[in-house]
């Protein structure tokens, strides 16, 4: 697809941005549109997965037939089969008459199943049959019916993990995932965020009859650095708030910060109030963890150095002398114990050649902050048997911060 064709497609469907992964997703959607292949759209909530399903439908031979988008996660489990495949009169309480399901209504068109990972396992089996044979049965009926529907599915959950837990059928996953399209989250499209904000500002200025808000350089930098967990949906909501509530139409960084959620991401600058115990930042937990790790390293150095931290007793000299086998050939000095100092280093010995100390220091230096943080959280959770409230209290952080850290480090189990 040429750059001109790509831009034309973006303009037609209101897509803003020029991130490589975004362009790749649009190109793949356009290429598979003319086929009958099933498509699985992957991406976080709020990235605009439904827009890509419309691109596929509008560029396909089915574009003159019906298109329907179904949010599988919003339909109760007890009625999802009826919604998708229809039901017969009297098939369940409240079924006063027969009703067609979406697969019957959209015959010849396209159906977009958003949040397909939320489907109950029984419904997954029914969907697999439709995909493989084009056949379905209404709830309360024994008559097999045919339909010709192209299925485009989307999810924001890890289907591989769901398969391992038995919550999603593996055969259905491979049937849906004929062509995967992955839409990047907004945090990976930092350069596109100011463009999107500007577009939303113009839209709201027309809607409310006001001048659009403009951002200075510092506010735009904040836009780029924020993680946007809600992606485009969150950005649009904040753009609307700023445009409606701000009297000043030129916004600086400090003014813009008040519209962002309290849980700022790692890449954002954090203002920390030492006098406020409720002001819990990333830096606070790191300081606490580093302090405890430093203490453990110090104790380890003492033990390696030849004496116990609980007493001043001297260990036998043969335990404190480094064997010749581990001293580098170019070493001209040695380390031994004395009655007054269990660990004496001659003046010519550099810290590099003191193997016992240097190894400990290497461990200390190579241990990243994230590894330290993860270890301390694991240790605290084990100590309190998974009670997150108690663990958070011991770590000196809020439960909300602990929940986020547990998810970030994959410690849910």
Q: CA distances (Å), 172 to each of 63, 69, 145, in order?
A: 26, 19, 20
pLDDT, tens only, 133-150: 999 999 888 889 999 999
343: confidence class by pLDDT, cuts 50, 70, 90: very low
Predicted pLDDT of residue 291? 62
- Phi first, then psi, for residue 40 (nearest 5°) are -115, 115
C-beta separation of 94 from 139 below 8 A: no
pLDDT on residue 152: 94
Residue 42 pLDDT:
93
- Mean pLDDT computed over every residue of the chain: 78
Q: What are phi and psi of 155, to 5 degrees?
A: -155, 155
- Which fold, 188-257? Helicase, Ruva Protein; domain 3 (1.10.8)
Q: Is the pLDDT of residue 312 over 50?
A: no
- Whole-number Å distance between alpha carbons of 179 and 5: 22
CA distance 32 to 67: 17
Residue 349 pLDDT grade (very low, low, confident, very high; cuts 50, 70, 90): very low
Closest CA to 146 of 103, 112, 175: 103
Q: Where are the domains of the chain?
A: 3-184, 188-257, 287-323+330-366, 369-408
pLDDT given at position 173: 93
pLDDT at 51: 93
Write down the CATH number for the domain with range 369-408: 1.10.10
pLDDT grade for 368, boundaries at 50, 70 and 90:
low
Tell me if domain 188-257 and domain 369-408 are identical in fold. no
Give the SS3 label for residue 182.
strand
Q: How high is the pLDDT of residue 402? A: 81
What pLDDT does 410 receive?
A: 81
pLDDT of residue 103: 93
Classified as helix, coil or strand, 141 is coil
Looking at the DSSP assignment, which residues form a beta bridge with residue 135?
Answer: 146
pLDDT at 286 over 70: no
Q: What is the pTM of this model?
A: 0.60
Asked whether residue 361 carries a pLDDT value surpassing 60, the answer given is no
What's the angle, vertex CA 408, arms to CA 404 and CA 409, rounded to 5? 120
Taking CA atoms, 382 is separated from 187, 288, 361, 406, in Å, by 33, 18, 27, 13
Q: Is the pLDDT of residue 101 over 80?
A: yes
Count the Cβ atoms, other than its own, within 10 Å of residue 33.
Answer: 19
Q: What is the DSSP letter of 186?
A: G
- What does the pLDDT average to over 146-170? 92
pLDDT at 41: 94
Which residues is 69 bridged to in the sheet? Answer: 112
Contact 333, 317 (CB under 8 A): no
Pick the CATH number of 3-184 from 3.30.365.10, 3.30.420.40, 3.30.1950.10, 3.40.50.300: 3.40.50.300
Residue 325 region by backbone torsions, left for phi larger than 0, else alpha for psi between -120 and 50, else beta: alpha
């Amino acid at each position: 697809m040429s750059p001109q064709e790509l831009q034309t497609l973006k303009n037609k469907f209101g897509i803003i941005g020029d991130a490589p992964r975004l362009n790749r997703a649009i190109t793949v959607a356009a290429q598979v549109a003319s086929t009958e292949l099933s498509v699985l759209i992957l991406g976080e909530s709020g990235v605009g997965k439904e827009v890509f399903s419309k691109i596929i439908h509008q560029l396909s031979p089915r574009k003159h037939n019906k298109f329907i988008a179904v949010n599988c996660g919003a339909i109760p489990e007890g009625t999802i089969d009826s919604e998708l495949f229809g039901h017969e009169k009297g098939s369940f309480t409240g079924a006063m008459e027969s009703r067609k399901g979406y697969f019957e209504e959209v015959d010849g068109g396209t159906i977009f199943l958003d949040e397909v990972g939320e489907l109950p396992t029984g419904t997954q089996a029914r969907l697999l049959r439709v995909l493989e044979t084009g056949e379905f049965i209404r709830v309360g009926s024994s008559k097999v019916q045919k339909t010709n529907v192209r299925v485009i599915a989307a999810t924001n959950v890890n289907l591989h993990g769901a398969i391992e837990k038995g919550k999603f059928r593996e055969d259905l996953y491979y049937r849906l995932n004929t062509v995967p399209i992955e839409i990047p989250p907004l945090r990976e499209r930092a350069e596109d965020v100011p463009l999107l904000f500007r577009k939303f500002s113009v839209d709201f200025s027309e809607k409310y009859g006001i001048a659009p808000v403009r951002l200075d350089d510092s506010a735009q930098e904040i836009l780029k650095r924020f993680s946007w967990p809600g992606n485009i949906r969150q950005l649009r909501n904040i753009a609307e708030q700023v445009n409606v509530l701000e009297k000043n139409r030129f916004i600086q960084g400090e003014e813009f910060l008040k519209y962002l959620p309290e849980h700022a991401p790692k890449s954002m600058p954090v203002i920390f109030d030492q006098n406020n115990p409720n002001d819990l930042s990333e830096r606070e937990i790191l300081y606490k963890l580093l302090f405890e790790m430093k203490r453990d390293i110090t104790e380890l150095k003492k033990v390696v150095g030849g004496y116990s931290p609980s007493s001043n007793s001297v260990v036998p000299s043969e335990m404190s002398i480094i064997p010749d086998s581990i001293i580098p050939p170019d070493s001209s000095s040695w380390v031994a114990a004395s009655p007054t100092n269990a660990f004496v280093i001659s003046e010519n010995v550099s810290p590099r050649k003191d193997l016992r100390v240097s190894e400990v220091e290497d461990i200390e230096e190579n241990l990243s902050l994230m590894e330290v943080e993860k270890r301390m959280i694991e240790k605290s959770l084990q100590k309190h048997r998974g009670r997150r409230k108690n663990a958070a209290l011991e770590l000196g952080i809020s439960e909300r911060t602990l929940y986020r850290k547990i998810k970030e480090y994959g410690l849910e189990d």
